[in-house]
Amino acid sequence: MSQVSHIIIVGAGIGGLSAALAFAKQNVQVTVLEQAECFGEVGAGLQISPNVLKVLRYLGLETELSQYAFTPQHASMRDYKTGDYYLKVPLADQAVHRYGAPYWHLHRADLHRVLVNGCKAAGVEFVLNANMTHYDETAEKSVQVTLDDGRTFAADLLVGADGIHSTVREQMLGYEKATFMGQVAWRGIVPVSELKVQVQPDACVWVGPNRHFVSYYLRGGEYVNFVAVEERDDWRSESWREEGNVAELKQNFSGWHPEVTEILYAASNSFLWALNGRDELPTWHQGRVALLGDACHPMLPFMAQGAAMAIEDAYVLAKCVADCRLSDALIEYEKIRKPRATKIQKMSKANASLYHMHGGLVGKMKLKALKAASQFAPDLIQSKLDPVYGYDVNQL
C-alpha cells in the first residue's frame, strides 16, 4: 500500500539512524545526509528504558547492544547532602517482569556505532559533509534536497531528524529561535578505577537547591556517567555544546554528598550544554516532509526520554508509511506520536521543580510525600511510570 520506495533522512543522530534502519528493513531505499565529515558521538551515557529497548529489539539490535549495557538495580532519588533516599524503585528483574524488557544504561557512542553498522548492513546510503540548504517538492510527486555545494537528491519522502536547530523544520514552519530553559548541563564520564568511593549501581538523581546531579554506570560498570544540571540566567553561548570548565563545575557542587564530589574529583573534562526547548509545533509534517525527535519536540532530560522519544518516532513513522498512503501515513504518525511526546515534555519540565527543591515548604512536603510513597506504597510510584515504560510501539 505504501507509495514510498525511497526516502531521504537529514541527520545521522540516534533518531535519524533509527528511522533509516526501520525503513531499510521494509526494503525502502534510504539515503542519509549528515553534515559532519565523519561519524562520532560525544562521550556520554543514555538511559534505555523498557519502552525504547523494545524498539531496539524490533530493529534486531538487542543482542549486540547487550554486550555494552549496564543494568541498574534501582531508579533512585537522593538528597544532595545527606544521601537519604526520597525514592527507590526496583529495576533489573522487576523491569523485565513488569514491562517485558530490561532497563539499560548505554554509552551513546556504542548505540550510535551499532546503529550505523546495522544501517550499512541493510544497504542504507550515507552522504557525509552534506549541508542542506533547502528542499523543494517537485511536479513529479517527489521532494528534492539541495546541499550547499550544489548537489541535489530526490526521493518520495524527506525526514528531518536534524535536531533542535533543524533546517528542515525552519523551512517548513519558519525561523523561530529555540527557547533557553534557564538551565545548563555538564556531562562527562569517569573510569571506576579512579574513584575512591563506591557508587551505587542505580540510575540515581541527586536533588539539591537550584541544581541536580545524575549518576549511573556504563559499559558493564567500567565507567560512571554523570550529568550535572544547574540553573543559569546568564547563558550567551550560541554553541549547542562546548568544553566545560571542570574547576567551575567542582566548585558549583562542592559540599554535596561524597559520591557526587568524588565523581567530580575524578573528572578531567566535561562538555557543557545549554538546555533549550520549543513550544508545541502546530504540525510535524507538510506535503512529503516529516519531522522527528528534537526537530519537533525537544525536551528537558529530566525523564531520560529524549533519545527514547526519537527512536519511538522513527519506528512509528516507518510503520505508518508502510501501512498507508503517504498523506494518510503522516497524519496518522503525528496523531499517534504528538500526544505522547508532548505529555513527556511536560512531565520532564515539571520534574525540574522537584529536582531543584523549588517551592519552599511546599516543595519539601512533596519530597517527603514521595519518600513515604516509595516506602509504603511502591506500586503507586511504579504505576505512574507504567504509561512511559510500558508503552509498546507494536501494540498501538
Q: Which residues are catalytic?
A: 216
Cell numbers at residue 39, please? 561519524
3-state secondary structure labels for all residues of the chain: CCCCCEEEEECCCHHHHHHHHHHHCCCCEEEEECCCCCCCCCCCEEEECHHHHHHHHHCCCHHHHHCCCECCCEEEEEECCCCCEEEEEECHHHHHHHHCCCCEEEEHHHHHHHHHHHHHHCCCEEECCCCEEEEEECCCCCEEEEECCCCEEEECEEEECCCCCCHHHHHHHCCCCCEEEEEEEEEEEEEHHHCCCCCCCCEEEEEECCEEEEEEEEHHHCEEEEEEEEECCCCCCCCCCEECCHHHHHHHCCCCCHHHHHHHHHCCCCEEEEEEECCCCCCCEECCEEECHHHCCCCCCCCCCHHHHHHHHHHHHHHHHHHCCHHHHHHHHHHHHHHHHHHHHHHHHHHHHHHCCCCHHHHHHHHHHHHHHHHHCHHHHHHHHHHHHCCCCCCC
Q: What CA–CA distances, in Å, run from 278 to 161, 164, 294, 297?
A: 15, 8, 9, 7
Element (H, E) at 212: strand 211-218
Torsion angle, alpha carbons of 390, 47, 317, 155, to 10: -170
Q: Look up residue 178 and give its DSSP letter.
A: P
